[in-house]
Structure 1
Amino acid sequence: MNLKSYLIALAVALVLAAWMLSGQLGTDESVAQTAPASRGAVVMDVQVASFEARQVQRYLENQGETRADQDVDLRAETDGQIAEVLIEEGSTVAAGDTLVRLAMGDRDARREEARARVVQREADFEAAQRLQGNGFQSDIAVQEARAALHSARARLAEIEKEIRDTRIASPIDGAVESRPVQVGDYLRAGETVARLVDTDPLIAVAHVAQQDIRKVQTGREAQVSLATGDELSGEITYISNAAESGSRTFRVEVRAPNPDRLPAGVSATIRIPLDPVRAHFLSPAWLSLEDTGEVGVKTVDDQNRVVFRPVDIVRAERDGVWVSGLPDRIRLITVGQGFVRAGETVNPVEAEGSPGLATEPPGGAGMPTVSGG
């Protein structure tokens, strides 16, 4: 092959190579240009439902217990043998009712002696005053006669009180919780005769966390649910001024009328109403967790863009959760929220059979009540 033929063959090879390379480059550029456009044209379908917020009555809920309004250990105020017992355990008494009588012993005789001594001291004092007026008695003698009279009267008052104390009466309206004495027992002053309790009203006691105590006010109504299944309604009458050192909680007492005399000492749930809040009732499956750790839901705006909205969980119930922090009306993504991100455009599709505007919790009517801070 001569040089000319070699050059012609080389030129043809270069042209073919250039043509092939130009085609390949053109294809890559076309793909690079069309691929984003192709991807941008894909809009994901998501299922949505419309929701409207409702006014929700919130409650601050705490566990506690109940106690009697009055719990009295009735004690003897004088020594003596029990002559009569007029009550039984479990019986109801009124304030002033006689419960136990002690034997009088020699008290009547000592009272008569004290009365006679008072009469004598009165005569002595009158005589001293007359003699003083006539100049035959000194001031000191009169003062001594006066002191003796006062001492005699004090002694009479003392024995009369001792006699009154032989009748042991109830200081309150209530029930006899226990009566550890019987006829014939000898009591010393200070020994227990009976334990009396008054459970009307019933006092419910709870310990409220320090972060919630500013939400509680005296005079506010509260609900008390007893472990027995009974329900009472009362008023907050006491809030401690200092937190307990260990738990950092504050003692709160609710006084609830208890005409049926429900028992004290049982566990109770105390629910204190807080200010109402606008909230939505949603399925927990519709909640999303952002990379930042925020809990929220994904909604669709008027331009069909995905919007992530943080929420506060007000209360969890068996069929769903109450959440606050959302606009009154939302279009919520109920299916597909895990495959779209905030800012993306989607094709919202109303769920088949969706009412279009969900406002009621399952089985609910009227203002819902939820618990939580």
Structure 2
Amino acid sequence: MLCFEVFTTRSLRRGRRVHPGTARTACDGPLAGAGRDHGPDHGARGAGLVLAAVVVAGLLAVGAGPLHAAQGSAAADTVRPTWSWTLDQPIHVFAQTLNVTQSVAGADSTREAVEYDMRPEADGEGVLLRFTDVAFVGDSVPGTPEEELARRMSTLFPDWKIGRGGKLVGLSGTDGLVKRARAILDTLFADVPETTLSDFLRQAVNEDQMLLDARREWDGMVERWNGRDLVLGEFVREQSEEDLPLVSDTPVPHEHEFGAMRMVPCAADVTDRTPAPGPSGAADCVEFVLRSYPAELEMRRFMERFLEQMFVDMLGGEAPVVRVPEMRVMVETVLVADPDGLLPYRMRQTNSTRGRFEVENESAPFGSVIEVTYTFERR
């Protein structure tokens, strides 16, 4: 399945497949007829809207920004993680993504991976976290232009600026990413119209989206936990308002629950969702869990507006009346890290969206699960 609109900065890093020539369609796949050389017939409408729902589901599964006012405790089972990484010592990362989408055509899944080094360097009073030696992990045999685009653009990473207190304050090197992305497009898609390429670049290398993605990853890895007093086994619950990435800057209420769940061996498997103890060995690390839930009512209203506009863009004519009676989004991070320094060993971030939409007497489910599993190694 080829999706243009969902090709955000996270997609670049994860190597998801896309063709810049699909800028005005939802997806190419079993239901590719929606939005390409068709009139506004009911079948194309339903198919196109299902695929559009899958596309935006990936965009809506976003993490929350840093929060405050955590409930602390002075009990003996309290941990206080403190961020302290050694400058100029690289951390090698292997990140594997499982992407599952659901539509009227059934379920579709892909699995890709990248590896890279994170190198913290002194940057004034803060730290510049540089991403180096980025490589797509997979078949080295040249594939289609779409596959080559996914491979090459999955290696485009901005660097992160970390300020006092371990807070992410900005990005570095984004201008260079735009130039590199444009060179990749010119090489692979010389026959694609300039307007389409420009539209693609604005979405695929979008600095606001890159910053939101960086904040989400850094929040689950370090910022959420740094300097907090957390009672083992207890969740802290908070609320905030967050912007939706790329498609809207309308703040949406979120509920969050997070905490230090238990002490585990540093080699604990973050993909194991059972409550059983981890592997044998000294329990020197902490398993941290963060879950975020955007408000369902606001998400359903936003999805309805988005799908109506998507329908007009794809097929022309007047927008149909779209209802989204059910929609649930959850973002979960599970991190295994040393509390003395917050050095990560394993991390899993899962974005899941489930819902159902109705249009012109048709009803269908939509869904998306994007799970990224990270393994970290000191070098």
TM-score of Structure 1 vs Structure 2, range by shorter chain: under 0.3
Higher-Rg structure is 1
TM-score of the superposed pair, with normalisation by structure 1: 0.18
TM-score of the superposed pair, with normalisation by structure 2: 0.18
Structure with bigger RCO (C-alpha 8 Å, 6+ apart): 1
